[in-house]
Amino acid sequence: MTASQGTVRLTTAQAIIRWLANQYIEIDGEELRVCGGGFGIFGHGNVTCLGEALHGVQAELPLYRGQNEQGMGFAAAGYAKQWLRQRFMFCTASAGPGTMNLLTAAGLAHANRLPMLMLCGDGFVTRLPDPVLQQMENYGDPTFGVNDAFKPVVRYWDRITHPAQVIQSLPAALATMLDPADCGPAFIGLPQDVQGWAWDFPEAMFEKKLHRIRRVAPDEAEIADARAALLAAKRPMIIAGGGVQYSRAAKELAAFAEAHRIPVVETIAGRANLLAEHPLNIGPIGVTGSDSANAIAAQADVILAVGTRLQDFTTGSWTAFDARARIVAINAARHDAGKHRALPVVGDAKRAIEALGRGLDYAAPAAWVEKAQKERRAWDAYVAENVKPGNGPNSYAQAIGVVNDLCHPRDRIVAAAGGLPAEVTANWRTLGIGTVDVEFGFSCMGYEISGAWGARIAQAQREPERDTIVFIGDGSYMMMNSDLYSAALSRKKLIVLVLDNGGFAVINKLQNNTGNESFNNLLADCPTIPEPFAVDFEAHARAQGAEAVTVENPAELATAFQRAKASDRSQVIVMKVDAYEGWTTQGHAWWEVGTPEVTTSERVRAAHESQESGRARQRRGV
């Protein structure tokens, strides 16, 4: 490298990495690099140039070697969640299938509004060697390639065709990732020739820059409208979403609820906004919610929705609320604040809650609060019985109860897709604010171990003495487990509970509940499997570097979990659970699924009629 007259000659790849290493953010009075490093699998599309640039900054931007690009993206999402979207990781993949493997992870980050930077190989701008290895030729548009597939699932997309373009592209990508309203993944395609091209970059570009996440103040007129709606409420309710945590507004939310005596329910993403013991925490809402939250949701006349996009599992496909209920939606994103005739309050959750409460002389009627708390006590009694060992065959709920009793309040719980999001959401009693990550924004099977690896990398930077605990079914484990090896290699301890029910049991349950026969979900019901056999999950986990044990019941699980807590190595505990019994049967709101209008099966016809009867309560949007 040479410098003259305020410029420095660098390759495109070197400039990108040098710029990233000099971007900082202030968190709790500490200045940290906003990019915590990256996850990478090298191929011919990124190893020679981007790999060369990354080699020189290993201390500043550590590169974690992934096993699968999709898993790398999940890990980056888990890292961003743990840091409350204040920091992110990049993922680098080669041109072709390596990059395409990141598509699902980009969808997950987009749906969950999470920052993630993808630096991915691309074809040659000159096209001189075309067609090249792994190139997908588009016969009618030679500029159109596989990287264009990311456009629907990212918030920012660019393809660098000249080194100078990164001067504009990098700040734009970072601004997107740090913006509360537009937060999501950013994709930068790096053609293989352009990565190595050099240019005289201005030295000022690489000066240290300190970023702060914007807190947008709400409009005074919108606050006035929200305040008027609340003052008229006889049965108010707060829905606390994941945006409460990203705004670091859990304390303000609790204070507002306490000051005005308003019951609070939680979404799946907002599952740890209040401690379980908080007197105004009425439980999780929706399809995988609680009888307590859904009971008051059906009667509430004013609903203050804070930091939630009101996904169908929260709204019961818009049957959970009285059709006449007024929704006031506080959200940093205009898109989410205006859903279903809501009174929008566009702005930062913390600032909006403070503004709404300023001078507000209001308290919910005592009878309404007492009713909500009575419902919560009944739900707590149900959960206590539901998680009790020995109340039936081994179940997800029993395993959740064991861990809940023995974990530390600051341990992090990770689950995703399958039956465990419902079981964790319904049965987990929150011990620490912001300690639960149930990935249900995109409902990605396979997120669990990879996402937990990323979370553990972040957690180790702030709370190294705490554990990251994974609940995963056998179906998700088989779908993606290789980052158990990543965690072992990088010495990032995980405690993984593999709960084996013999296949995709929760979808089998949905299949049965809609009148269908079990087919192709449980291994025993797959006609193309002549002789099903069990996977030796314990041996498999040991082969990937973890310590592992198989237990027969919740009592043995408790003993194994205590041993796992005491170890400094990744742990896998395997327990079989029943595929048909032991599910949480209460607390479920109606959920819209497609069922056959025409069928020869009486059971399917009856299930269709039953399903359609729930539509009468469905709130009509505008």
Instruction: Read off the pLDDT of each residue in 40-56 and give the average, rounded to a whole number.
Output: 97
Q: Which residues contact 512 (CB under 8 A, 6 or more apart)?
A: 518
Indicate the fold that domain 387-576 takes in CATH. Rossmann fold (3.40.50)
- Over 90: is that where the pLDDT of 341 sits? no
DSSP string spanning 285-334? -STTS-HHHHHHHHH-SEEEEES----HHHHTTTTSS-TTPEEEEEESSH
Class of residue 69 by CB neighbours under 10 A (exposed 0-12, middle 13-18, buried 19+) = buried
Question: What share of the chain in percent tops pLDDT 90?
Answer: 95
| Tens of pLDDT, residues 88-137 | 999 999 999 999 999 999 999 999 999 999 999 999 999 999 998 888 88
How are beta strands 468-473 and 7-11 bridged, if at all? unpaired
| Tens of pLDDT, residues 281-334 | 999 999 999 999 999 999 999 999 999 999 999 999 999 999 999 999 999 999
Q: What is the pLDDT of residue 51?
A: 97
| Tens of pLDDT, residues 555-608 | 999 999 999 999 999 999 999 999 999 999 999 999 999 999 999 999 999 999
Find residue 283's DSSP bridge partners: 265
11-211 and 387-576: identical CATH topology: yes
Asked if residue 220 lies in contact with residue 214, where contact means CB atoms within 8 angstroms, the answer is: no
Find residue 264's DSSP bridge partners: 238, 281
Tell me 619's DSSP state: P
- Over 90: is that where the pLDDT of 610 sits? yes
Q: What is the pLDDT of residue 135?
A: 86
Q: What is the pLDDT of residue 454?
A: 98
Instruction: Read off the pLDDT of each residue in 482-505 and give the average, rounded to a whole number.
Output: 97
Instruction: Read off the pLDDT of each residue in 64-72 and give the average, rounded to a whole number.
Output: 97
Which of 47, 42, 28 has the alpha carbon at shortest distance from 87? Answer: 28
Mean pLDDT of the chain: 96
pLDDT band at 620 (very low <50, low <70, confident <90, very high): confident
The C-alpha torsion from 313 through 318 and 319 to 324, rounded to 10°, is 140
Chain centroid, CA 179 distance in Å = 17
Indicate the fold that domain 220-379 takes in CATH. Rossmann fold (3.40.50)
Q: What is the pLDDT of residue 621?
A: 63
- Over 60: is that where the pLDDT of 2 sits? no
How are beta strands 547-551 and 468-473 bridged, if at all? unpaired
Q: What is the pTM of this model?
A: 0.96
Domains of the chain, residue spans: 11-211, 220-379, 387-576
Where do we find the tokens 């539509």? 615
Q: Which residues contact 333 (CB under 8 A, 6 or more apart)?
A: 113, 180, 181, 182, 309, 346
Other C-beta atoms closer than 10 Å to the C-beta of 224 total 12
- Over 50: is that where the pLDDT of 376 sits? yes
| Tens of pLDDT, residues 521-542 | 999 999 999 999 999 999 999 9
Sheet holding 23-27, edge to edge: 30-33, 23-27, 209-211
CATH 3.10.105.10 fits 11-211, yes or no: no
3-state secondary structure of 436: strand
Asked if residue 51 lies in contact with residue 75, where contact means CB atoms within 8 angstroms, the answer is: no
